[in-house]
Amino acid sequence: MKRALPYVLLVAAAAIYPYAVARVFLDTPIERQMGTAFKIFFFHVPMGWLCMLMALICGVAAAVELRRRSQTAAAVALAAAELGFVCGLGVLLTGPIWGNATWGKPWTGDARQVSTALLWLVIAAYLVVRHYGPSSNRRLAAALAIFGAIDVPVIYQAVKWWKTQHPTTEVVGSLPPALWASLWPALGAIALTVFGLLGIRIRQLLLADALDEGWARQSDLAAAKEVRHE
Amino acid sequence: MRLLRQTRLLLVAELRQELRSLEVVISSAFFAVVMLALFALSLGALSPSAQLSAIPGALWLSVAFVGALTLTRVFDRERESDTLRALLIAPVDRLAIYLAKAALALLVVLISTLVLVPGLCVIFPAAAPIVERPLLSAAMVVLGCVGYVAVGTLFAAGLAQGGGKNVLLSLILHPLTTPVLMFNLVATRALLERHPGTGEYLGRMAALDVLLLAVAAWLFEPVLVGGAPRRAPGDDARIAAARARARGGRP
């Protein structure tokens, strides 16, 4: 059951997607000020939330990995970072499209834009260190993930002092019920996809670790036999 | 007290080594001069109002680049002779190692700012408030550099100890030190505009420095030494060797 859960989540997501898309494009009224471009909101906001959640999971798993050198925590941190990277990319691509339609320019250097872009950069740096650094740099990558999780609210506050014109968090809170009814299916479908992929990727990374260890053990045995023959 | 004594001893040893050649100080200060020349050529003709926007960026970008160079050079010595491992084996508190290294890097970066800040005041007339309020300016520069060095020392040490590539330091350091640089930019802009709340911005910079120093000091030992291993020591090397044998080559 545990092994099948990610696939169950993906199947559920596949079932919800058509309903979510139909709701957003056919049943949701067009927003008066922003026009049709507002429909991006229903995909942009869930991806933004999931990107931050993945960064948080990555930071917490990295802290556990660093304290206990747990391979499971290492796999969770890496898988969460990869999915955070993808969600962040989605946010950074859909945001400027929405911004261009609403503010007249895709990038305004606003607090939330800059903090999201920097969070994405930290996740990208973490992935580069994990994939291209030597194996001993795993601990360094974990520290990077922890710092990244701490950095995000600080960057956000710093840019807010500088300038901001992004919709405040109250905008999401004050959404009319009709828009919430469209946001929930979109959020559900994207979240189920992300968690399904997270489960599959964690299992894949743990299997790769187990395979590496088995490979090393077998190779050691073969080398010992060679020495005995000589 | 023991921690302070160990930190002082390690810092004195670092300073003695640096005074023999002045290699890190001279290379960082010279790099600061190069940055100033580049800013003079590219931004020297800006209008006074545009200079107000350019000066904070020019100052803190220079500090970021000089800081990355300094941290790389400070730990290159350890990398070349693998002495960081010896330091970690020595009966010294690991926090003292971190504090001594951070203090040395901070000292070198501050010496570079002694070149940078007056240079920027000469190139940009709009930087006059920095000269008019020397104590506030000095506090701002010191607080800005402390935060940068606090994060940088941790990652430079981690790369030096793990045999990592130097190029990774810039890749890690610049996204992570952005909050410090953002706080510094805001405070510098306030200082240049003679904002009455400049002191408050410096307080926020000090709070961020304390947070970063605490997190970096907490992470220093786990990053360099690690927690209780689940895999046996040397397992990663065994896996790499097994892979090489499977490909038909020698490990």
Residues 6+ apart with CB under 8 A from A209: A71, A75
pLDDT in tens, B182-210: 888 888 988 888 888 888 888 988 998 99
Question: B251 pLDDT band (50/70/90 cuts)?
Answer: very low
The nearest alpha carbon in chain A to B166 belongs to A133
- Model pLDDT, residue B99: 93
* Mean pLDDT along residues B12-23: 88
pTM of this prediction? Answer: 0.81
**Per the structure block, which two tokens stand in for B87?**
């330091």
Question: B250 pLDDT band (50/70/90 cuts)?
Answer: very low
Contacts of B162 in chain A (CB under 8 A): 133-134, 136-137, 139-140
Partner residues linked to A35 by β-bridges: A31
Q: What is the pLDDT along chain A (230 residues), one digit of tens a residue?
A: 678 999 999 999 999 999 999 888 888 877 777 777 788 888 998 999 999 899 989 999 999 988 887 889 999 999 999 999 999 999 999 988 888 888 788 888 777 788 788 889 989 989 988 887 766 678 888 888 888 888 777 766 766 666 544 555 555 656 777 777 888 899 999 999 999 999 999 999 999 989 988 888 888 888 888 777 76
The nearest alpha carbon in chain A to B190 belongs to A162
In the DSSP assignment, the letter for residue B251 is: -
Q: Do B53 and B186 meet the contact criterion of CB atoms below 8 Å apart?
A: no
Q: Which of A65, A116, A139 to mutate to test the interface with B (most CBs of B within 10 A)?
A: A139
C-alpha–C-alpha distance, residues B220 and B98, integer Å: 7
Show which of residues 74-93 on chain A sit within 8 Å of chain B, judged by CB atoms: none
Q: A74, A94, A82: which is closest to A210 by C-alpha?
A: A74
CB-CB under 8 Å, A219 with B246: yes
Check residue B234 and give left, alpha or beta (phi > 0: left; psi -120 to 50: alpha). Answer: left
CB-CB under 8 Å, A136 with B163: yes
ipTM (interface pTM): 0.75
User: What string of H, E and C letters represents the secondary structure of chain A?
Assistant: CCCCHHHHHHHHHHHHHHHHHHHHHHHCCCECCCEHHHHHHHHHHHHHHHHHHHHHHHHHHHHHHHHHCCHHHHHHHHHHHHHHHHHHHHHHHHHHHHHHHHHCCCCCCCHHHHHHHHHHHHHHHHHHHHHHCCHHHHHHHHHHHHHHHHHHHHHHHHHHHHCCCCCCHHHHHCCCHHHHHHHHHHHHHHHHHHHHHHHHHHHHHHHHHHHHHHHHHHHHHHHHHHHHHC
- Model pLDDT, residue A36: 77
pLDDT in tens, B92-132: 888 999 999 999 999 999 999 999 999 999 999 888 888 88
- Model pLDDT, residue A60: 92
CB-CB under 8 Å, A150 with B215: yes
